[in-house]
Amino acid sequence: MINFSKYTDGLVPAIVQDNETKNVLMLGFMNQEALEKTFATNKVTFFSRSKNRLWTKGEESGNFLNLVSYSVDCDNDTLLLKVNPVGTTCHTGSDTCWNENNKQDYGFLTKLENTIKERKESATAEKSYVASLFEKGINKIAQKVGEEAVEVVIEAKDNNDDLFLNESADLLFHYLILLQAKGFQLNDVVKVLKNREK
């Protein structure tokens, strides 16, 4: 359990993380009373050092931080609060207190999506395979996804893992291009899958 007596002011740092995107939204401080109120209301409450009182995030703006779960670090002196934010988190109107967008990031796949988008928007079809596919239109892109899917199935029946993984990469790559051609991104598909979760 959290050790509130470790520091002379009885406050411990509370790191707030979006439960879905995993982005860090802000840092606040909590005492025992703030933590108990957070548990009772499921709305994150801090102890405001400037106001010298309990302060529920969103009490004025309506941009609450709805508690999903919490954990305590290895030294029992720092909290990690996973939340579902309502609106922006920072008082400046930014998604986070570091002025970052709170968007889902899939690491390399997000980077790849951004590269595909840049190539789609550039007029260098002669230099870019991706741009040339977009230039040929949706039918050609869809055809490529179909071809790659068939190749994945063929390689899945054989025992060459390298070929299977390479064809799988080709399929995923072309599928991301097809999503962009249709005006969607990977996150749109993830949302559909999450809605199916039981």
Mean pLDDT of 120-127: 74
- Whether 177 is covered by a domain: the verdict is yes
User: Do 26 and 73 belong together in one domain?
Assistant: yes
Under 8 Å between Cβ of 48 and 55? yes
Query: CA 70, CA 82: separation in Å to the nearest integer?
Result: 6
Torsion angle (degrees, nearest 10) of CA 91, 92, 93, 99: -110
Per-residue model confidence as pLDDT tens digits over 59-92: 999 999 999 999 999 999 999 999 999 999 999 9
Do 143 and 78 share a structural domain? no
Residues 81 and 143 occupy one common structural domain: no
Sheet holding 24-30, edge to edge: 24-30, 12-18, 79-85, 65-72
Residues 65 and 58: beta-carbon distance below 8 Å: yes
Domain containing 19: what range? 12-85
Asked whether residue 68 falls in the same domain as residue 134, the answer is no
Q: In terms of domains, do 132 and 191 share one?
A: yes
- Position 93 confidence tier, pLDDT thresholds 50, 70, 90: very high
In a domain, 154, yes or no: yes
| Residue 100 covered by a domain | no
Mean local confidence (pLDDT), 5-13: 89
Residues 176-194, mean pLDDT to the nearest whole number: 94
- Domain assignment of residue 92, yes or no: no
Please give the model's pTM, rounded to 2 decimal places. Answer: 0.74
The CATH number of residue 34's host domain is 3.10.20.810
| pLDDT digits 0-9 by tens, 19-39 | 999 999 999 999 999 999 999
Residue 112 has pLDDT above 70, yes or no: yes
Mean pLDDT for 182-197 is: 92
Number of domains within the chain = 2
